[in-house]
A = this chain, B = another copy of it.
Amino acid sequence: MNILIQNGTIITMHNRKIIRQGAIAIEDKNIIDVGKNRDLKRKYGTGYEKIDAKDKVVMPGLINTHQHAAMSLLRGYADDLPLQEWLGKWILPIEKYMTPHDIYVGALLTATESIMSGTTTVNTMYHYTREENEAKAFAETGLRGVIGHVCFSQRKKEDKTALKDLAKNWHNKAKGLIRVSVDPHSPYTVDPEYTKELKEIKEELNQKYGSEKTPIIWHTHVAETIDEQEKIRKAFKIKLKNGVMTYLDSLGVLDKHVIAAHCVALTGRDITIMKQRKVKASHNPISNLKLASGISPVPRMLRKGLTVSLGTDSPCSNNTADMFETMKATALLHKGVNKNPTLTPAKQVLAMATIEGAKALSWENEIGSIEVGKKADLAIVDFKKPHLCPLYNEISHLVYAAKSADVNTVIINGKIVMENRQPTTINIEKVMAMAEKAKNSLLERLARNIK
Contacts and interface: CB of A to CB of B under 8 A. Distances in A.
Contacts of A400: 76, 79, 290, 318-320
Nearest to A394: B76
A47 interface: no
A76 B392 contact: yes
Nearest to A77: B392
Given A289-B335, A332-B286, A346-B79, A386 B341 contact: no
Instruction: Report, as a range, how many residues of chain A touch the other chain.
Output: 35 or more
A430 to B, nearest CB: 11
Interface string A288-304: 11111111000000000
Interface in A313-362: 315, 318-322, 325, 328-329, 331-333, 335-343, 345-346
B329 A332 contact: yes
> How many of these chains are in the complex?
2
Contact of A386 (B116, B294, B391): B116
A389 B335 contact: no
B112 A386 contact: yes
Interface string A258-299: 000000000000000000000000000010111111110000
B403 A403 contact: yes
A403 B401 contact: no
B391 A436 contact: yes
**Interface centre among A83, A112, A294, A328, by most B CB within 10 Å?**
A328
A292 B338 contact: yes
Interface in A394-429: 396-397, 400-401, 403-405, 428
A132 interface: no
A82 B342 contact: yes
Nearest to A399: B79
A333 B83 CA distance: 16
A340 to B, nearest CB: 5
Contact of A328 (B292, B325, B384): B325
A346 B80 contact: yes
8 contacts: A76-B392, A79-B345, A82-B341, A291-B341, A292-B336, A292-B339, A325-B328, A329-B332
The 5 closest A-B pairs by CB, nearest first: A289-B336, A405-B405, A80-B345, A390-B439, A289-B332
